[in-house]
Amino acid sequence: LNLRRISARDGVSVFTDEEYLYYPRPSLYSVLSGRIQPQQIISPPEQWYANQGIKVALRKKVTKVDASNRSITFEDGTKIAYDKLLLANGAYPFIPPVKGAEKKGVFVLRTLDHALAIRQYAGKTRNAVVIGGGLLGLEFAASLRKLGQAVNVLEVSPRLLPNQLDEDGSSVFQKKIENMGINIMLNVRTNEILGEENVSGVSLSDGRTLPGDLILFSAGIRSNIELAREAGIKVNRGIVVDGNLQTSLSDIYAAGDAAEFREKVYGIIPAAEEQARIAATNMIGLDKHEYQGTMPSSTVKIAGIDLTCIGTIIPQNSQQEEIKKLDAERGSYKKIVLQEGRIIGAIILGDVGSVAPIKRLIAGRVGVSKFKNQVLEDNFNFSEIGE
């Protein structure tokens, strides 16, 4: 779409190996819990692409990129030529090397087909185990709980969401999750998936075992880098791109979960969107746009729990200071991290109203020194600082 917006003249074709047109992956939880039907998450509709002049071909898996002949080859043997190529081939869920992970009843969640398969299987199970207590794992646990499963979440870290939350935030958040009837086990490592053909539980490295007839791995992602590697493009954890989102080969760009910029694979939608915009501008060759990285930001809404984490959430040096407000009884926790009077990061748990204004203060690099002790008050009037 960005290419199309910038240039009405150039032909744009999109190829995907999926069966479906675009759908936002965060909606997969609602499909899983049965709240919405699969067709409802597919948007925009087919006609929209035609109206925009974008050709989309489904079930077209790319198996080879030939940079010297500027062509790509598909699984069905057909080939097409390109002038400029964007590799936005995403990532796949990582399954740690745990014995028994190939058994029936072990799942990952990345695609609509995965969500449908899990939902169907959950119709005959009662005890679910989610391996990985990150944001996705917890959302997944909440969806399974809605399906009536008893759910255990296994997390190797000593607290939940160590990259998004500080200790206070983690403990408030954990209590909220536990109130939903989800059991959180911290500091645990999975040793083996138990069962014959079908899973029946997991054994932990401390010797304990847990029942489980549905196991979900939510242990992070790995970028799809093989296509690029075989084409002779520089890869590391992801497809390495420069500030123009160009790979090591000219006229081939990469963006999204597949791409690695300054040794970082972001794995989040805001980064994928920003990279796509900049890659499109540079592919058209209008003028050079430099990508500077994306401020990490995540928002989750798990069964009524709203959590937003933005930017730096723990001060990294003596120039950075934190201000927090904890109301354990109400289950609300807010915190800002400041540097030179500007907010550079925030955790907002249980107060949706202040998310948008705080995001704007961060993005606008607005000085808040005068108000820093009031910003987290529940009824703070953000218009006082020009909001």
Ligand X SMILES: Cc1cc2nc3c(=O)[nH]c(=O)nc-3n(C[C@H](O)[C@H](O)[C@H](O)COP(=O)(O)OP(=O)(O)OC[C@H]3O[C@@H](n4cnc5c(N)ncnc54)[C@H](O)[C@@H]3O)c2cc1C
Nearest approach, Cβ of residue 374 and ligand X (Å): 30
Query: 50 or 58, CB closer to ligand X?
Result: 58
Subset of residues 11 to 30 that bind ligand X, contact rule: CB under 6 A = 15-18, 25-26, 28
Residues 215-234 as x/- pattern, contact with ligand X by CB under 6 A: ---------x--x-------
Return phi, psi of residue 167, to 5°: -60, -45
Q: Are 314 and 162 in contact (CB under 8 A)?
A: no
Residues 244-263 that bind ligand X (CB under 6 A): 256-258
For residue 336, which of 317, 307, 360, 311 has the smallest C-alpha distance?
Answer: 311
Among 156, 268, 295, 366, indicate the residue that binds ligand X (CB under 6 A): 268
Is 149 or 375 the residue whose CB approaches ligand X more closely?
A: 149
Buried b (16+ CB within 10 A) or exposed e, 233-270: bebeebbbbeebbbbbbeebbbbbbbbbbeeebbbebe
Instruction: Name which position in 89, 152, 170, 281 contacts ligand X (CB under 6 A).
Output: 89
Q: Does 136 bind ligand X (CB under 6 A)?
A: yes
Question: How many residues make contact with ligand X (CB under 6 A)?
Answer: 27
Site membership for ligand X, residue 327 (CB under 6 A): no
| 301 touches ligand X (CB under 6 A) | no
Pairing of strands 252-254, 221-223: unpaired
Find where tokens 């592919």 sit.
Answer: 283
Are the beta carbons of 162 and 177 closer than 8 angstroms? no
Backbone angles phi, psi at 281, to 5 degrees: -60, -45
Q: What residues numbered 36-65 form the site for ligand X, per CB under 6 A? A: 61-62
Is 72 within 8 Å of 66 (Cβ atoms)?
Answer: yes
* 91 forms part of the interface with ligand X (CB under 6 A): yes
What residues line the site for ligand X (CB under 6 A)?
Answer: 15-18, 25-26, 28, 61-62, 88-91, 109-110, 136, 224, 227, 256-258, 267-270, 272, 298
